[in-house]
Chain A
Amino acid sequence: MSASLDAAKELLARWPVVDGHNDLPWALREQVRYDLDRRDIAGDQSAHLHTDLPRLRAGGVGAQFWSVYVRAEYAGDHAVSATLEQIDVVRQLVGRYPGDLRLALTSGDMEAARAERRIASLMGAEGGHSINNSLATLRALHRLGVRYMTLTHNNSLDWADSATDEPKAGGLSRFGEEVVREMNRLGMLVDLSHVAAETMRDALRVTRAPVIFSHSSARAVCDHPRNIPDDVLERLPANGGIAMATFVPKFVLPAAVEWTQRADENMRAHGLHHLDTSEGGMTVQRAFEAAHPRPVATAATVADHLDHMRDVAGIDHLGIGGDFDGTAFTPSDLADVAGYPQLIAELLDRKWSTADLAKLTWQNAVRTLRIAEDVAREEQARRGPSNATLEELDG
């Protein structure tokens, strides 16, 4: 393994990881209300965070889509404001650590950052609630630098169904389709993580640009709604997009899926919300964990997904989206952003070629954004900005 690990690090020095999803901005918001002095990521923050600059360097990360996620519960109140705050903190981080981070708005910026050995910093919004049903707001997010939007988070919207909620729109509504078209026109990647399979299929039908799954794995390997069914993976070659495998144990390890269900039921049986992190909630959770040891995922679990996804979608349609700082638990040997070499080493041991790994880590993601930029240029020549409204299209 040690030889593989060295080879992995060597490979990453040339073809670093483009990671699809990292929730550092939300962690900074929740932990210190964006007081960056209290979470100086130039130094070791492993006591608080999965992410800091030394570990990003150790992990061979060359580009990061920073998630500007906000809670869907903010919708109708502060979702847009909070999203702007999330974008603002990413721009502050980039301004604060110019030797390590470089704002990336294009595929060209990503390549320039790699050449300078800086970490290309891109932004992704997580959930259509961040645009408050307003295409002008979508354009504002794009102008501020956001380069993908996940159509939903855990809750269904009026115009798009989530994988983890009751359907409302039957996939995408007409307005939802217009959101996809406007994203195509802007050159903002359509992210299909979190959405219902019907929404994935609708989006693939409507989009002219490659889609991404910023942090989702294979449903055939682990049957969880957050993962991608094979029939959708099979459509990626025609679309050109990528599925970025995630590390979240409760999505990738079948035993962890089952364990999580039972843990959640236990919380509810105690009259608590399953995500309750108050002291009372944590006490109940710890008691459950003591009685029922938590199944542990590893890099091999993630590699199982990637093997399957390569078989179904093809090597040109894969990527990595760890979801660090967005998940309580991680695979044991992918415990933080320094862990990517472990995964690459595992894949080397499985006889993945260097050429294939370079596609997985770097080339596929950069190509996807570049094609989306090409499509945007074509679309902008064909149509102006859309000011369609939900009321107008969906009645």
Chain B
Amino acid sequence: MADLAPAELTDPAGASEISGAAPGDGSAGPLPLGLRGPLARARALLATHPVVDGCNGLPWSLRRRTGHDPTPGHRFDLDHGETGVRTDIPRLRAGGIGGQFWSLQVPAELTGEAAVTATLEQIDFVHALIRTYPGALHLALSADDLTEARDHGRIASLLGSAAGHAIDSSLGVLRSFYRLGVRSLSLTAGRSTPWADSATDEPRAGGLTVFGEEVVREMNRLGMLIDLTWCSADTMRHTLEITRSPVLWCHTAARAVCAHPRNVPDEVLSLLPRNGGVCMVTFTPEHLTRGSGPASVQDIADHLDHIRAVAGPDHVGLGAGFDTDPATAHRSPVPDVAGYPLLLAELIDRGWSFRDLAGLTWGNALRAVRGAECAARAARGRRAPSTATIERLDGERA
């Protein structure tokens, strides 16, 4: 899938200097940015190649804060700044966010239809947010929607990742989620699903069960991105063996830099060029430094440097995970969604090229979404919706 890189990824001037040219517009030459500081250059880059962030936990965070009434405008208003959370529209704008995967994760303790219902409520809530702030947010169901939102100065809002356990081991539920707009699903969360092993739970399947493989194939057919965040290394490898579309990690880090079990090992990262997927790096301190003191912007950059070196610059992205974990929020190196330019300034200081930065923020995620769409079109010509059940494929163990 690496050959699907859109034209706009190429630096029109062929230089490593950050250009102010509009994407794909070769006529405008590089702006004289050389004399400006790295932060100004970061902002210039974000104007044309805004961040597509893989994970923001605002939906659950607001649900927790507002209890039974998560109606936008009732107890919070994202338009005017919202101090209790780390995400609101002014700060998304300041941070240069052009696309956001809104997390649909629900607690692992919820099982059966409780998990399904909670996810449907989260989906409904994200749709309500998008409807409530039409000047800022734009529902994105496809790669074209992402670019259209950017071209209209709106933040493309993608639904995902939903939690694997929330499909209640049913491909019909999976397809329903897709129809409701969900575009990524994590195969596991902190606990294993009946069909895929989590990094932080006892291995049961040794990766994916037979039904787990069918979930992957059905996601390929739908064009729903497979999110390997939280999965065991075996599940990652197993999935990469069979998937025909790009995978992603919506918020993770490099295990070689920080030995957290949830982080991605190098040998998995090295499989990404062939797959075309993107590993999106979290800002969560626990995954950056394993809790050894507060993390810094340099720590995030270290992970990005490492993943760029191992997987290549086309396979690294950002998935900060704002508002996913209030407990560690105060230790985060980036206080809120306005902070992405700080990180990009650090990378500019480290000599990242325009091309690599534009891929990191925008191009790589866009290519993964588009790659999943292309793979889906091909798969739909080959196979009908799967009617497999976990009972039939995995037998009594399920």
A85 touches B180 (CB 8 A): no
A132 at the binding interface (Cβ < 8 Å): yes
A87 in complex: contacting residue of B69, B71, B176, CB < 8 Å: B176
A110 to B165, CA, bound (A): 37
List B residues 160-192 near A (Cβ within 8 Å): 167-168, 170, 172-173, 175-176, 179-180
B113 in complex: contacting residue of A81, A87, A92, A136, CB < 8 Å: A81
A95 to B179, CA, bound (A): 14
Give B215 Cβ to nearest chain A Cβ, in Å.
14
Contacting residues, chain A, for B112 (C-beta < 8 A): 76-78, 81
Contacting residues, chain A, for B120 (C-beta < 8 A): 80, 134, 136-137, 140
Which interface residue of B112, B125, B167, B180 has the most chain A CB atoms within 10 A?
Answer: B112
A91 to B167, CA, bound (A): 18
A134 to B117, CA, bound (A): 7
B180 touches A144 (CB 8 A): yes
B117 in complex: contacting residue of A74, A96, A137, A385, CB < 8 Å: A137
A137 touches B121 (CB 8 A): yes
Given A34-B387, A387-B71, also A84-B124 (CB < 8 A): no
Write the chain A residue with the least CB distance to B169.
A81
A91 touches B179 (CB 8 A): yes
A74 to B170, CA, bound (A): 15
B173 touches A81 (CB 8 A): yes
Give B163 Cβ to nearest chain A Cβ, in Å.
14
A385 touches B175 (CB 8 A): no
A384 to B131, CA, bound (A): 11
Task: List the count of A-B residue pairs having beta carbons below 8 Å apart.
Answer: 92
A3 to B112, CA, bound (A): 56
What 0/1 pattern do residues 354 to 390 of B give for CB contact below 8 A with A? 0000000000000000000000000000001101010
A81 touches B128 (CB 8 A): no
A84 touches B71 (CB 8 A): no
A384 touches B71 (CB 8 A): yes
A389 to B176, CA, bound (A): 23
A201 to B114, CA, bound (A): 31
Contacting residues, chain A, for B167 (C-beta < 8 A): 81
Give A96 Cβ to nearest chain B Cβ, in Å.
8
Give B128 Cβ to nearest chain A Cβ, in Å.
6
A81 to B114, CA, bound (A): 10
A391 at the binding interface (Cβ < 8 Å): yes
B128 touches A84 (CB 8 A): no
A36 touches B68 (CB 8 A): no
B54 at the binding interface (Cβ < 8 Å): no
A85 touches B128 (CB 8 A): no
A345 at the binding interface (Cβ < 8 Å): no
What 0/1 pattern do residues 254 to 293 of A give for CB contact below 8 A with B? 0000000000000000000000000000000000000000
A77 to B168, CA, bound (A): 10
> What bracket does the count of chain A residues touching chain B fall in?
35 or more
Given A35-B387, A134-B121, also A84-B116 (CB < 8 A): yes
Which interface residue of B125, B173, B384, B392 has the most chain A CB atoms within 10 A?
Answer: B173
What 0/1 pattern do residues 31 to 62 of B give for CB contact below 8 A with A? 00000000000000000000000000000000
B265 at the binding interface (Cβ < 8 Å): no
A80 to B111, CA, bound (A): 12
Contacting residues, chain B, for A24 (C-beta < 8 A): none
> What bracket does the count of chain B residues touching chain A fall in?
20 to 34
Given A81-B112, A81-B173, also A92-B385 (CB < 8 A): yes
List B residues 68-110 near A (Cβ within 8 Å): 68-71
Write the chain B residue with the least CB distance to A34.
B387
Given A81-B113, A136-B125, also A387-B385 (CB < 8 A): no
Given A33-B389, A81-B168, A139-B124, also A88-B176 (CB < 8 A): yes
Give B207 Cβ to nearest chain A Cβ, in Å.
24
A393 to B389, CA, bound (A): 38
A377 at the binding interface (Cβ < 8 Å): no
B124 touches A392 (CB 8 A): no
A144 touches B179 (CB 8 A): yes
B307 at the binding interface (Cβ < 8 Å): no
Give A141 Cβ to nearest chain B Cβ, in Å.
9
A85 touches B68 (CB 8 A): no
Which interface residue of A74, A89, A91, A132 has the most chain B CB atoms within 10 A?
Answer: A132
A143 to B179, CA, bound (A): 9
**Can you list the 7 inter-chain pairs with the closest CB atoms, starting with the nearest?**
A85-B172, A136-B124, A88-B172, A136-B121, A84-B176, A81-B168, A80-B113
Contact residues of A with B, CB < 8 Å?
33-36, 74, 76-81, 84-89, 91-92, 95-96, 132, 134, 136-137, 139-140, 143-144, 384-385, 387-389, 391-392
Could you list some 20 contacts between A and B, CB below 8 A? A35-B387, A74-B113, A77-B113, A78-B168, A79-B113, A80-B116, A81-B112, A81-B167, A88-B173, A88-B175, A88-B176, A92-B385, A132-B113, A134-B121, A136-B120, A140-B180, A143-B127, A144-B179, A144-B180, A387-B70
